[in-house]
């Protein structure tokens, strides 16, 4: 796979992830996903009525051992 193919595939995946997120939280503007050393984390932030970011309507981590932890929001 070339770099361009990799980047295109990752963008398509993020577009899909964002569409899923937007169907859950239409006012969300900040979806973060990270994969670090086998640990995958997803969290978000959205702007409140004052235009300030309120963090986490989604906050979950998949650990390398398979444990899935949804953090209290």
Q: Is the pLDDT of residue 73 over 70?
A: no
More confident residue, 13 or 27: 13
Q: Is the pLDDT of residue 10 over 90?
A: yes
HSE, CB side, 13 Å, CA atoms: give it for residue 17: 17
Band the pLDDT of 22: cuts 50, 70, 90.
very high
Beta strand residue intervals within 1-73, DSSP E: 28-36, 39-47, 53-62, 68-70
The C-alpha atoms of residue 72 and residue 63 are separated, in whole angstroms, by: 16
> Is 43 within 8 Å of 55 (Cβ atoms)?
yes
Mean pLDDT of the chain: 90
Tokens 């309120």 found at:
54
**Which 8-state DSSP code applies to residue 37?**
T
Q: What residue ranges do the domains of the chain occupy?
A: 3-70
Within 10 A of 10 (CB to CB), how many other CB atoms are there?
A: 10
Choose from 44-48, 50-54, 64-68 the range with maximum mean pLDDT.
64-68
């Amino acid at each position: 796979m070339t770099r361009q193919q990799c980047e295109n595939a990752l963008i398509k995946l993020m577009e899909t992830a964002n569409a899923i997120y937007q169907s859950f939280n239409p006012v969300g503007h900040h979806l973060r996903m990270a994969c670090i050393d086998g640990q995958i984390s997803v969290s978000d932030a959205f702007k409140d009525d004052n235009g300030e970011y309120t963090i986490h309507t989604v906050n979950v981590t998949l650990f390398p051992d398979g444990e899935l932890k949804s953090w209290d929001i």
